[in-house]
Amino acid sequence: MTLSKIIIVGAGPAGCVLALLLANAGINVELLEASDTLDDSPRASFYPWPAVRELERAGLLPEVRERGYVVADGVSWRRLDGSLIGRMDASKVPYDRRLHGLPLGKLLALTREHLDRRPNAKIHYLHKVTRLEQGQDKAKVYVDTPEGEKVFEADYIVGCDGANSTVRRALFGDEFPGYTWPEQIVATNVYYDISKFGWGQGAFIVDPENFALIALLQKDGLYRVSYGEKVGLTKEEYEARQPEKFRKILPGNPEPKDYKLVSLNPYKIHQRCAQSFKVGRFLLAADAAHLCNPFGGLGLTGGLVDVGNLFDCLNGVHQGLADDSILDRYSEVRRKMYKEIIDPVSTQNLKHLLQDPDVALKEDPLFQNMDTMQDPDAVAKMVSGINNIMHDFTQEYKQPNTNGSATSDIKAPISAEVKPVAVSD
């Protein structure tokens, strides 16, 4: 079956990377995006190898490195007073397998620049999907636009419309199985010279109330500081409390005159996964399909691996190498990866931080085995554990793949054998 068109709801990072992969393979794609502005909120910033690989397949990697940076240091864990609990020696993690850093807004700008150069890809801004319909051969969406309601149809429609996905709600109602953490975080981007304190490029604060991540975001000295906060305040209240939080959390106990705050946003944090990622001709991917807390950088990473897998499945159908049932496998495999790896690993990453450090040193295997973190070979092996979220769908084609879209370094069988790894948010 040759696909005439795929529609993607949501031109966020997941939707844009999927659109690029499809367009590069000659498949027509249209993105429907509710907003007309670039989302520059302080969210995704750091990506481990499974995400970097998909950025590479989409043709984005050289510019990701140019506009962002490759993290050289291993992370450290610290008490609220800044004293060191332990440090990870990441010196033997190969260059291309290291965390790559690029703020969400810059990644989005880059993907949209590439899409603008593809004649078979089009983004419709101010197009908000409101409801869905599907028949035997096509799926349809009804869309609010500045010119009134329009209807778009395609062979398949993919919901990449984020945590509050209209597509997911239309398929399953308000139920999004999982839970919301009782903790709240506030994410900020800030210029403050942390390098002079010898903290390296990334540090976690272990503290039940003031847990935090402090990490270099850009080569020019912009840092991401995400910290634990009280639940249920207004954005203005979080803004008013921020100077006191920075005084407690940051080295040098700075006053507002000592730093330049660029952005601040509060976030609830969730662990949730949709009942299925396929209903007929509608598919779900990334935040529309699953959510996890950001400590460990597995949110968009899981989302980019979804869209890379979905691309291989749709491309297999397009080329006659697979039938529609491969899309049921997509749902099965990606949900399993979330449940067996992304959910438990990201949960553990946050739990490591929500403790009294002295208790953690006595009871938490991560902190009891800090010697292992000093062993660069052990760290390189541990970091590679997260590669188990990858899956090669071209191995499930009915005929051998000839387009070379997947690389051979993926372990095809799903393995849950992965050690908790706390790398960054």
Ligand X SMILES: Cc1cc2nc3c(=O)[nH]c(=O)nc-3n(C[C@H](O)[C@H](O)[C@H](O)COP(=O)(O)OP(=O)(O)OC[C@H]3O[C@@H](n4cnc5c(N)ncnc54)[C@H](O)[C@@H]3O)c2cc1C
Does 29 sit near ligand X (CB under 6 A)? no
Give the count of residues interacting with ligand X (CB under 6 A).
40
Distance of closest approach, residue 398 Cβ to ligand X, in angstroms = 30
Distances (CA, A) of 361 to 208, 214, 348, 352: 14, 21, 15, 10
Contact residue for ligand X among 25, 43, 107, 238 (CB under 6 A): 43
Contact residue for ligand X among 24, 45, 319, 401 (CB under 6 A): 45
Amino acid identity of residue 335, one-letter, is: R
Sign of the CA dihedral with 396 first, then 402, 408, and 410 last: negative
Does 162 sit near ligand X (CB under 6 A)? yes
Binding mask 221-260 for ligand X (x = CB under 6 A): -----x----------------------------------
Contact residue for ligand X among 86, 105, 299, 420 (CB under 6 A): 299
Element (H, E) at 65: helix 61-67
Piece in contact with ligand X (CB under 6 A), picked from 21-29, 189-197, 287-295, 390-398: 287-295
Contact residue for ligand X among 6, 8, 11, 214 (CB under 6 A): 11
Amino acid identity of residue 33, one-letter, is: E
CA distance 334 to 184: 27
Does 215 sit near ligand X (CB under 6 A)? no
> Which of these, 29, 184, 189, lies nearest to 106 by C-alpha position?
189
Does 34 sit near ligand X (CB under 6 A)? yes
Q: Residue 162 or residue 420: which is nearer to ligand X going by CB?
A: 162
**Residues within window 352-411 making contact with ligand X, judged by CB under 6 A:** none
User: Who's near 304: CB < 8 A, 6+ residues apart?
Assistant: 13, 14, 17, 47, 50, 51, 54, 55, 286
Distance of closest approach, residue 109 Cβ to ligand X, in angstroms = 13
Give the other-Cβ count within 10 Å of 246's Cβ: 23
On the CB side of 354, how many CA atoms lie within 13 Å of its CA?
A: 15
Distances (CA, A) of 176 to 241, 285, 306: 32, 14, 18
Binding mask 48-87 for ligand X (x = CB under 6 A): ---x------------------------------------
Does 217 sit near ligand X (CB under 6 A)? no
Contact residue for ligand X among 35, 195, 325, 369 (CB under 6 A): 35
Q: Residue 1 or residue 151: which is nearer to ligand X going by CB?
A: 151
Contact residue for ligand X among 115, 187, 190, 353 (CB under 6 A): 187
Asked if residue 297 lies in contact with residue 423, where contact means CB atoms within 8 angstroms, the answer is: yes
CA distance 197 to 206: 18
Say which DSSP state 74 is in.
P
Distance of closest approach, residue 262 Cβ to ligand X, in angstroms = 14
Say which DSSP state 99 is in.
-
Q: Residue 238 or residue 397: which is nearer to ligand X going by CB?
A: 238
Amino acid identity of residue 168, one-letter, is: R
DSSP per-residue string spanning 334-348: HHHHIIIIIHHHHHH
Q: Which residue of this chain has its Cβ atom nearest to ligand X in the complex?
A: 12
CA distance 310 to 120: 18
Q: What is the CA radius of gyration of the chain?
A: 21
Piece in contact with ligand X (CB under 6 A), picked from 45-53, 63-71, 109-117, 362-370: 45-53
Distance of closest approach, residue 60 Cβ to ligand X, in angstroms = 14
Q: Which residues bind ligand X (CB under 6 A)?
A: 9-15, 32-35, 39, 42-47, 51, 104, 128-129, 160-162, 166, 187, 226, 267, 286-288, 294, 297, 299-301, 303, 424-425
